[in-house]
Structure 1
Amino acid sequence: MDNLSLRLKDVSEAGAYRLGCRLDELYAAVAEAGCVLFEIDLAEIEGKEKFIAVMAQAVCVPDWFGSNWDALADTLSDLSWQPACGYVLLLRNDNGTLGMAAEDHNMAMEIFADTIAFWKSQDKPFWIFFC
Protein backbone atom coordinates (compact mmCIF):
# COMPACT_ATOMS: atom_id res chain seq x y z
CA MET A 1 0.00 0.00 0.00
CA ASP A 2 1.43 3.40 -0.86
CA ASN A 3 2.02 6.20 1.62
CA LEU A 4 -1.13 8.18 0.75
CA SER A 5 -3.47 5.21 1.13
CA LEU A 6 -1.88 4.44 4.51
CA ARG A 7 -2.27 8.05 5.60
CA LEU A 8 -5.95 8.06 4.59
CA LYS A 9 -6.52 5.34 7.20
CA ASP A 10 -4.81 7.38 9.93
CA VAL A 11 -7.54 8.87 12.10
CA SER A 12 -5.12 11.19 13.89
CA GLU A 13 -4.12 12.93 10.65
CA ALA A 14 -7.63 13.25 9.21
CA GLY A 15 -8.78 16.81 8.65
CA ALA A 16 -9.32 19.49 6.03
CA TYR A 17 -6.43 20.19 3.66
CA ARG A 18 -5.54 21.69 0.31
CA LEU A 19 -4.97 18.70 -2.02
CA GLY A 20 -1.25 18.13 -2.45
CA CYS A 21 -1.27 15.44 -5.11
CA ARG A 22 -2.75 14.72 -8.52
CA LEU A 23 -6.42 13.69 -8.63
CA ASP A 24 -5.61 10.27 -10.10
CA GLU A 25 -3.26 9.62 -7.16
CA LEU A 26 -6.01 10.54 -4.71
CA TYR A 27 -8.57 8.33 -6.49
CA ALA A 28 -6.19 5.35 -6.41
CA ALA A 29 -5.27 5.89 -2.75
CA VAL A 30 -8.93 6.23 -1.70
CA ALA A 31 -9.79 2.97 -3.47
CA GLU A 32 -6.78 1.17 -2.02
CA ALA A 33 -7.57 2.41 1.50
CA GLY A 34 -11.20 1.24 1.20
CA CYS A 35 -12.63 4.69 1.87
CA VAL A 36 -15.74 6.18 0.29
CA LEU A 37 -15.11 9.24 -1.88
CA PHE A 38 -17.66 12.04 -2.16
CA GLU A 39 -16.71 14.43 -4.94
CA ILE A 40 -18.26 17.85 -5.49
CA ASP A 41 -17.57 20.39 -8.20
CA LEU A 42 -18.02 23.86 -6.70
CA ALA A 43 -17.67 25.68 -10.04
CA GLU A 44 -21.42 26.26 -10.42
CA ILE A 45 -22.26 26.84 -6.74
CA GLU A 46 -23.97 30.14 -6.03
CA GLY A 47 -25.34 30.23 -2.53
CA LYS A 48 -26.22 28.08 0.43
CA GLU A 49 -29.21 26.27 -1.11
CA LYS A 50 -27.22 25.08 -4.12
CA PHE A 51 -24.27 24.08 -1.91
CA ILE A 52 -26.50 22.00 0.40
CA ALA A 53 -28.27 20.40 -2.58
CA VAL A 54 -24.99 19.41 -4.23
CA MET A 55 -23.63 18.05 -0.93
CA ALA A 56 -26.83 16.03 -0.44
CA GLN A 57 -26.57 14.58 -3.92
CA ALA A 58 -22.90 13.66 -3.45
CA VAL A 59 -23.48 11.71 -0.24
CA CYS A 60 -26.75 10.17 -1.51
CA VAL A 61 -28.75 11.41 1.47
CA PRO A 62 -31.75 9.44 2.71
CA ASP A 63 -35.34 10.58 2.19
CA TRP A 64 -35.50 12.32 5.56
CA PHE A 65 -32.94 14.95 4.51
CA GLY A 66 -34.27 18.42 5.32
CA SER A 67 -32.13 20.59 2.98
CA ASN A 68 -30.78 22.85 5.73
CA TRP A 69 -27.60 23.21 7.77
CA ASP A 70 -28.84 20.99 10.61
CA ALA A 71 -29.78 18.21 8.21
CA LEU A 72 -26.40 18.45 6.48
CA ALA A 73 -24.60 18.23 9.83
CA ASP A 74 -26.74 15.25 10.88
CA THR A 75 -26.18 13.50 7.57
CA LEU A 76 -22.42 13.93 7.57
CA SER A 77 -22.29 12.53 11.11
CA ASP A 78 -24.31 9.44 10.20
CA LEU A 79 -23.49 8.00 6.75
CA SER A 80 -24.87 4.59 7.83
CA TRP A 81 -26.04 4.10 4.21
CA GLN A 82 -22.40 4.49 3.07
CA PRO A 83 -20.49 2.05 5.32
CA ALA A 84 -16.71 2.39 5.01
CA CYS A 85 -13.51 2.42 7.03
CA GLY A 86 -13.21 6.14 6.27
CA TYR A 87 -14.52 8.99 4.16
CA VAL A 88 -13.00 11.51 1.77
CA LEU A 89 -14.82 14.64 0.66
CA LEU A 90 -13.19 16.21 -2.40
CA LEU A 91 -14.28 19.78 -3.11
CA ARG A 92 -13.11 20.72 -6.60
CA ASN A 93 -12.83 24.22 -8.06
CA ASP A 94 -12.81 25.87 -4.66
CA ASN A 95 -12.34 29.62 -4.84
CA GLY A 96 -12.02 29.97 -1.07
CA THR A 97 -15.72 30.69 -0.48
CA LEU A 98 -17.33 27.37 -1.43
CA GLY A 99 -19.53 29.52 -3.67
CA MET A 100 -21.30 31.18 -0.74
CA ALA A 101 -21.44 34.37 1.28
CA ALA A 102 -19.01 34.64 4.20
CA GLU A 103 -21.57 33.72 6.87
CA ASP A 104 -22.64 30.58 4.99
CA HIS A 105 -19.03 29.66 4.22
CA ASN A 106 -18.23 29.91 7.93
CA MET A 107 -21.21 27.69 8.78
CA ALA A 108 -20.11 25.05 6.27
CA MET A 109 -16.56 25.11 7.64
CA GLU A 110 -17.92 24.71 11.18
CA ILE A 111 -19.98 21.71 10.07
CA PHE A 112 -16.90 20.24 8.39
CA ALA A 113 -14.81 20.68 11.56
CA ASP A 114 -17.55 19.09 13.68
CA THR A 115 -17.87 16.21 11.19
CA ILE A 116 -14.13 15.51 11.28
CA ALA A 117 -14.15 15.57 15.10
CA PHE A 118 -17.20 13.30 15.27
CA TRP A 119 -15.67 10.66 13.01
CA LYS A 120 -12.40 10.82 14.93
CA SER A 121 -14.39 10.03 18.09
CA GLN A 122 -15.74 6.97 16.20
CA ASP A 123 -12.16 5.99 15.22
CA LYS A 124 -12.85 6.61 11.54
CA PRO A 125 -11.02 9.14 9.38
CA PHE A 126 -13.00 11.85 7.58
CA TRP A 127 -10.89 13.85 5.17
CA ILE A 128 -11.77 17.00 3.27
CA PHE A 129 -9.59 18.05 0.36
CA PHE A 130 -9.94 21.37 -1.45
CA CYS A 131 -8.55 21.76 -4.96
Structure 2
Amino acid sequence: MTDSGFDLGLDDPRQSGVFFVTADDIATLDMAARDAGLLTRRIDLRGCNSKATLLLRIGNALDFPAGSGRNWDALSDMLRDQSWLPASGYALLFEDAGQLRDADETAFDTLLAVLEEASEAWADADVPFWAFLALPEDDFAQEE
Protein backbone atom coordinates (compact mmCIF):
# COMPACT_ATOMS: atom_id res chain seq x y z
CA MET A 1 0.00 0.00 0.00
CA THR A 2 1.28 3.49 -0.79
CA ASP A 3 1.10 6.64 1.32
CA SER A 4 -2.05 7.73 -0.52
CA GLY A 5 -3.73 4.36 -0.18
CA PHE A 6 -3.77 3.88 -3.97
CA ASP A 7 -1.55 1.31 -5.61
CA LEU A 8 -2.40 1.36 -9.30
CA GLY A 9 0.80 -0.25 -10.54
CA LEU A 10 2.02 3.04 -11.97
CA ASP A 11 5.62 2.01 -11.38
CA ASP A 12 5.26 -0.83 -13.93
CA PRO A 13 6.44 0.31 -17.39
CA ARG A 14 4.76 -2.71 -19.01
CA GLN A 15 1.37 -1.31 -18.07
CA SER A 16 2.05 2.34 -18.86
CA GLY A 17 0.55 4.07 -21.85
CA VAL A 18 -2.01 6.66 -22.87
CA PHE A 19 -5.41 6.63 -21.18
CA PHE A 20 -8.60 8.67 -21.14
CA VAL A 21 -9.96 9.60 -17.72
CA THR A 22 -12.48 12.01 -16.26
CA ALA A 23 -11.55 15.33 -14.69
CA ASP A 24 -12.34 13.83 -11.27
CA ASP A 25 -9.59 11.23 -11.79
CA ILE A 26 -6.73 13.69 -12.32
CA ALA A 27 -6.04 14.56 -8.66
CA THR A 28 -6.11 10.90 -7.62
CA LEU A 29 -3.79 9.90 -10.46
CA ASP A 30 -1.45 12.78 -9.62
CA MET A 31 -1.21 11.59 -6.00
CA ALA A 32 -0.84 7.93 -6.95
CA ALA A 33 1.86 8.70 -9.52
CA ARG A 34 3.83 10.73 -6.98
CA ASP A 35 3.50 7.88 -4.48
CA ALA A 36 4.89 5.55 -7.14
CA GLY A 37 7.95 7.80 -7.42
CA LEU A 38 7.04 9.29 -10.78
CA LEU A 39 7.61 12.86 -11.83
CA THR A 40 4.18 14.31 -12.54
CA ARG A 41 3.22 17.32 -14.60
CA ARG A 42 -0.28 18.70 -14.99
CA ILE A 43 -0.92 20.31 -18.36
CA ASP A 44 -4.02 22.50 -18.52
CA LEU A 45 -5.63 22.40 -21.96
CA ARG A 46 -8.54 24.67 -21.04
CA GLY A 47 -8.97 27.04 -23.97
CA CYS A 48 -6.32 25.18 -25.99
CA ASN A 49 -7.57 25.14 -29.56
CA SER A 50 -4.48 24.76 -31.74
CA LYS A 51 -1.26 22.83 -32.20
CA ALA A 52 0.80 25.95 -31.42
CA THR A 53 -0.90 26.52 -28.07
CA LEU A 54 -0.68 22.82 -27.22
CA LEU A 55 3.05 22.63 -27.91
CA LEU A 56 3.65 25.80 -25.88
CA ARG A 57 1.74 24.44 -22.88
CA ILE A 58 3.52 21.09 -22.95
CA GLY A 59 6.90 22.80 -23.33
CA ASN A 60 6.19 25.10 -20.39
CA ALA A 61 4.90 22.29 -18.15
CA LEU A 62 7.94 20.14 -18.86
CA ASP A 63 10.35 23.06 -18.85
CA PHE A 64 11.78 22.17 -22.26
CA PRO A 65 15.32 23.51 -22.73
CA ALA A 66 15.74 26.81 -24.56
CA GLY A 67 15.85 26.41 -28.31
CA SER A 68 13.56 23.39 -28.38
CA GLY A 69 11.56 23.26 -31.58
CA ARG A 70 7.82 23.86 -31.63
CA ASN A 71 6.74 21.05 -33.93
CA TRP A 72 5.63 17.43 -33.65
CA ASP A 73 9.08 15.96 -34.31
CA ALA A 74 10.62 18.12 -31.60
CA LEU A 75 7.87 17.17 -29.15
CA SER A 76 8.43 13.50 -29.90
CA ASP A 77 12.17 13.87 -29.37
CA MET A 78 11.74 15.80 -26.11
CA LEU A 79 9.22 13.34 -24.67
CA ARG A 80 11.49 10.40 -25.45
CA ASP A 81 14.60 12.08 -23.99
CA GLN A 82 13.85 14.20 -20.90
CA SER A 83 17.54 14.20 -19.88
CA TRP A 84 17.05 17.71 -18.44
CA LEU A 85 14.29 16.32 -16.21
CA PRO A 86 15.64 13.00 -14.86
CA ALA A 87 13.18 10.77 -13.02
CA SER A 88 12.43 7.11 -12.40
CA GLY A 89 9.24 7.54 -14.44
CA TYR A 90 6.80 10.13 -15.73
CA ALA A 91 3.08 10.89 -15.56
CA LEU A 92 1.59 13.62 -17.73
CA LEU A 93 -1.89 14.69 -16.66
CA PHE A 94 -3.75 16.62 -19.36
CA GLU A 95 -6.66 18.56 -17.90
CA ASP A 96 -9.59 19.56 -20.16
CA ALA A 97 -8.25 17.57 -23.12
CA GLY A 98 -11.74 17.46 -24.62
CA GLN A 99 -11.43 21.13 -25.51
CA LEU A 100 -8.44 20.49 -27.77
CA ARG A 101 -10.12 17.43 -29.27
CA ASP A 102 -13.22 19.44 -30.12
CA ALA A 103 -11.28 22.43 -31.49
CA ASP A 104 -8.55 20.62 -33.46
CA GLU A 105 -9.11 16.90 -33.92
CA THR A 106 -5.97 16.53 -36.05
CA ALA A 107 -3.76 18.02 -33.34
CA PHE A 108 -5.47 15.87 -30.72
CA ASP A 109 -4.95 12.67 -32.73
CA THR A 110 -1.32 13.56 -33.42
CA LEU A 111 -0.76 14.25 -29.73
CA LEU A 112 -2.12 10.79 -28.91
CA ALA A 113 0.24 9.18 -31.42
CA VAL A 114 3.26 11.10 -30.08
CA LEU A 115 2.39 10.21 -26.48
CA GLU A 116 1.93 6.53 -27.37
CA GLU A 117 5.28 6.51 -29.17
CA ALA A 118 6.98 8.05 -26.13
CA SER A 119 5.33 5.57 -23.78
CA GLU A 120 6.51 2.64 -25.88
CA ALA A 121 10.06 4.02 -26.07
CA TRP A 122 10.22 4.48 -22.30
CA ALA A 123 8.75 1.01 -21.70
CA ASP A 124 11.54 -0.43 -23.86
CA ALA A 125 13.96 1.35 -21.49
CA ASP A 126 12.06 -0.10 -18.50
CA VAL A 127 10.82 3.34 -17.40
CA PRO A 128 7.12 4.03 -16.79
CA PHE A 129 5.63 6.84 -18.87
CA TRP A 130 1.95 7.58 -18.48
CA ALA A 131 -0.29 10.10 -20.17
CA PHE A 132 -3.78 10.65 -18.79
CA LEU A 133 -6.12 12.86 -20.80
CA ALA A 134 -9.21 14.15 -19.03
CA LEU A 135 -12.30 14.12 -21.21
CA PRO A 136 -15.84 15.21 -20.34
CA GLU A 137 -17.86 12.85 -18.16
CA ASP A 138 -20.40 12.46 -21.00
CA ASP A 139 -17.75 10.73 -23.12
CA PHE A 140 -17.80 7.83 -20.66
CA ALA A 141 -21.57 7.44 -20.40
CA GLN A 142 -22.64 3.90 -21.18
CA GLU A 143 -25.68 3.16 -23.21
CA GLU A 144 -28.38 1.34 -21.34
TM-score interval, normalised by the smaller of the two chains? 0.7 to 0.9
Would the alpha carbon gap of residues 96 and 7 (structure 1) be closer, same or farther in structure 2, given more than 3 Å must change? Answer: farther
Would you say 1:19 and 2:21 are equivalent positions?
yes
Q: Which amino acid aligns with 2:28?
A: E
Alpha-carbon contact 2:49-2:100 (below 8 Å) kept: no
Three-state SS of the structure 2 residue aligned to 1:61 is coil
**How much identity, in percent, do the aligned residues show?**
29
Three-state SS of the structure 2 residue aligned to 1:19 is strand
| Corresponding residue for residue 138 of structure 2 | none
Would the alpha carbon gap of residues 87 and 104 (structure 1) be closer, same or farther in structure 2, given more than 3 Å must change? Answer: same
Counterpart Cα distance in 1 of 2:28 and 2:109: 29
Instruction: From 49, 54, 59, give the equivalent of 2:52.
Output: 49
Alpha-carbon contact 1:45-1:98 (below 8 Å) kept: no
The 5-angstrom pairing of residues 1-131 of structure 1 reads 1-2=1-2, 4-5=6-7, 7-19=9-21, 22-95=25-98, 97-98=100-101, 100-131=103-134
Alpha-carbon contact 1:34-1:85 (below 8 Å) kept: yes
TM-score, length basis structure 2: 0.81
Segments of 5+ residues of structure 2 without an aligned counterpart are 135-144
Q: Which amino acid aligns with 1:9?
A: D
* Alignment RMSD: 2.0
- C-alpha distance after superposition, 1:3-61 (max 9, x if no partner): 74451101111011123764443232222211111111111101010000001001100
Alpha-carbon contact 1:51-1:99 (below 8 Å) kept: no
Three-state SS of the structure 2 residue aligned to 1:91 is strand
Counterpart Cα distance in 1 of 2:114 and 2:83: 18
Would the alpha carbon gap of residues 59 and 100 (structure 1) be closer, same or farther in structure 2, given more than 3 Å must change? Answer: farther
TM-score, length basis structure 1: 0.88
- For the pair shown, the structure with the greater C-alpha radius of gyration is 2
Q: Which amino acid aligns with 2:84?
A: W
